[in-house]
Amino acid sequence: MNHRNLKITILGLNYTPEPTGNAPYTTSLAEGLVAAGHTVHVITGFPHYPEWKLKEGYSGWVRSEVINGVTVDRVRHFVPSGSSALARIHMELSFGLRLLCANWRAPDVVLLVSPALFSSAIALFRARLRVKRPAIGIWVQDLYSRGVVETGTGGGRAAAVIAVVESLILRSTDGVVAIHDRFKQHMVDALRVSAGNVRVIRNWTHLPTSPCEGRCEVRAHLGWTPEDIVVLHAGNMGKKQGLENVIAAAQLAQDRRSAVRFVLLGDGNQKKKLQTMSAGLERLQFIDPLPGPDFMAALAAADILLVNELPGIKDMAVPSKLTSYFNAGIAVIAATDAGSVTAKEIATSMGGIRVDAADPEGLLAAAERLGADDEYTKTLGLNGLRFRHDTLSESAAVDRYDDFVTSLASSRGR
């Protein structure tokens, strides 16, 4: 693309070395924009997710480093022991206050990452106070107002208030990126954001191609037998994942002496509770977070990959794990409501099958059916891999963001 090189400041709570959630995408985007010739400065928090505790080796009030050409300033903020609504707001507000006082380095464009919505509001207030202010964009990974409704974390009044706040924030920027068409539809219809101000740019696969060799060795290392039908759920173990459903399915598998083994890989604020609930279950296994190459190897060694969601989760988020799942070329089961964003992704990609949320009988039956039909399961995996290459390309996504920030800067200049 022919355009001037810009000074871009990205303000987001999460960044590498956090392995899941928004961090891998923010990191890939920052590095991609540097590769496109821009000067990128990231102001972020101290690593804490998904464990919800400060990562070992990080201390102090501020920390600056350069990572793959990106200048990264980390600011200390409140880290809650869990992810309740009030604790999360406290964390976001504390990060926002740090953004209020941080050195933004006179950018041409400021890109806000939401979540965190409330810290984005504080940053937006600061940016708009400047006489010669930068162009402001916001990248929406989750819809807060839908999250309050769908997870049941607040009543109707709380949802209405957050919808007003979210609408005001989105409409106060110069441009909005939605990661799915359903997000854009909700922003336009319910949050009154101008359709012309919203671009849809899909999240991408941030992992290299999964390994094709050594599958048997990986399975043996992880304690999986050749007879096991391994159903692996990888990523955050939080409330919206509704993983009690997996525990119930594992109990059924054990009672019926099924070959299905359920595996929960990762961390999260619900992990200890889930481990306590599942004590003594032999058909359920917990694995701590794995580094990148080992993580990819584990995905490729499973027979089936699982997305599990709480009933009622429809529009608030697109599971980031799906991009990694499709990259692995392994069939997916989505335990989710009909009509959810996740269900639409599965149908569009043809990379898996859907069963109802909170239906352990249906989940176990689907796993047994796929485990008994190698040809069909292989076809689903190849469909997902094709979708990853055709639709979830990192280079194409970064090019679209390059065009987005350039157009923001140009329109602000005019």
The answer for residues whose C-beta is within 8 angstroms of residue 67's C-beta and 6 or more apart is 16, 27, 31
Same domain, 359 and 398: no
Same domain membership, residue 342 and residue 250: yes
Domain, as residue range, for 352: 215-391
Query: Does 33 reside within a domain?
Result: yes
Total domains present in the chain: 2
The verdict on residue 209 lying in a domain is no
Cα(328)–Cα(384) distance, rounded to whole angstroms?
A: 8
Within a domain: residue 2? Answer: no
pLDDT tens, N- to C-terminus, the chain (414 residues): 446 799 999 999 999 999 888 999 999 999 999 999 999 999 999 999 988 899 999 999 999 999 999 999 999 999 998 667 788 889 999 999 999 999 999 999 999 999 899 999 999 999 988 778 999 999 999 888 887 777 766 667 888 888 999 999 999 999 999 998 989 999 999 999 999 999 999 988 767 667 667 899 999 999 999 999 999 999 999 888 999 999 999 999 999 999 999 999 999 989 999 999 999 999 999 999 998 889 999 999 999 999 999 998 876 667 788 989 999 999 999 999 999 999 999 999 999 999 999 999 999 999 999 999 999 999 999 999 999 988 888 888 999 999 999 999 998 765
367-371, Cβ contacts within 8 angstroms, sequence gap of 24 or more: 367/229, 367/231, 367/249, 367/260, 367/304, 367/333, 368/229, 368/258, 368/259, 368/260, 370/229, 370/303, 370/304, 370/331, 370/333, 371/229, 371/259, 371/260, 371/303, 371/304
Q: Please indicate, yes or no, whether residues 292 and 160 belong to a single structural domain of this protein.
A: no
User: What is the reported pLDDT for 1?
Assistant: 42
Q: Is 351 a member of any domain?
A: yes
Phi/psi of residue 146, nearest 5 degrees:
-75, -35
Angle (CA) 196-197-200 rounded to 5° is: 90
In this structure, are 98 and 14 located in the same domain? yes
CATH number for 344: 3.40.50.2000
Do 346 and 245 fall within a single domain? yes
Does one domain contain both 174 and 270?
no
Q: Calculate helix-pair angle for 117-129, 85-101, nearest 10 degrees.
A: 30
Judge if 313 and 220 occupy the same domain.
yes
Using a 10 angstrom Cβ sphere, with 0-12 exposed, 13-18 middle and 19 or more buried, the burial of residue 156 is exposed
Confidence (pTM): 0.78
Give the per-residue pLDDT at 137.
97
Would residue 1 count as lying in a domain? Answer: no
Same domain? For 219 and 367 the reply is yes
- Residues 138 and 42 reside in one and the same domain: yes
Query: If you ran DSSP here, which 8-state letter would residue 252 be given?
Result: H
Task: Identify whether residues 257 and 399 lie together within a single domain.
Answer: no
187 plus 331 within the same structural domain = no
Task: Give yes or no: residues 168 and 258 share one domain.
Answer: no
d(CA 182, CA 116) in angstroms, rounded, equals 20
Q: Is residue 273 part of a domain?
A: yes
139, part of any domain: yes
Predicted local distance difference test score (pLDDT) of residue 205: 79
210 domain residue, yes or no: no
| Bridge partners (DSSP) listed for residue 317 | 142
Amino acid 232: pLDDT: 98
